[in-house]
């Protein structure tokens, strides 16, 4: 028989797994230009709030799913900040360097 917890775990697994391709792609390509920084900041705060809510109501499915999703969201957010900063430095460096002789 399907219980509320079973449904919660299934939903948590699916929504958490949905972030893996984005995290893997960002790590592999080291490009995050097309990821919205504002969206990921708000999203990460929302996930942290859901985690807090899950702790308050003592719901294992909510806590587990949001704890794992929070780790992935923070990782993607950190990559966004790091990789965008590196890309900005590289573009500034290329723009300020003298043209190469032919």
Model confidence at 42, pLDDT cuts 50, 70, 90, reads: very high
Among the listed residues 80, 75, 15, 73, the one whose alpha carbon sits nearest the alpha carbon of residue 46: 73
Which CATH topology does 4-85 take?
A: Monooxygenase (1.20.1280)
Question: What residues does each domain of the chain span?
Answer: 4-85
Residue 96 pLDDT greater than 90, yes or no? no
pLDDT digits (tens, 9 = 90+) for 62-74: 999 999 999 999 9
What pTM did the predictor assign?
0.79
How many other CB atoms are there within 10 angstroms of residue 99's CB atom?
5
């Amino acid at each position: 028989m399907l219980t509320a917890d079973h449904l919660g775990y299934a939903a948590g697994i699916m929504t958490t797994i949905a972030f893996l391709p984005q995290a893997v792609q960002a790590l592999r390509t080291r490009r995050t230009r097309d990821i919205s920084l504002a969206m990921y900041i708000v999203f990460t705060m929302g996930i942290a709030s859901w985690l807090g809510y899950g702790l308050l109501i003592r719901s294992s499915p909510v806590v587990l799913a949001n704890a794992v999703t929070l780790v992935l969201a923070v990782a993607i957010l950190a990559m966004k900040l790091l990789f965008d900063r590196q890309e900005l430095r590289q573009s500034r460096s290329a723009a300020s360097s003298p043209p190469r002789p032919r």
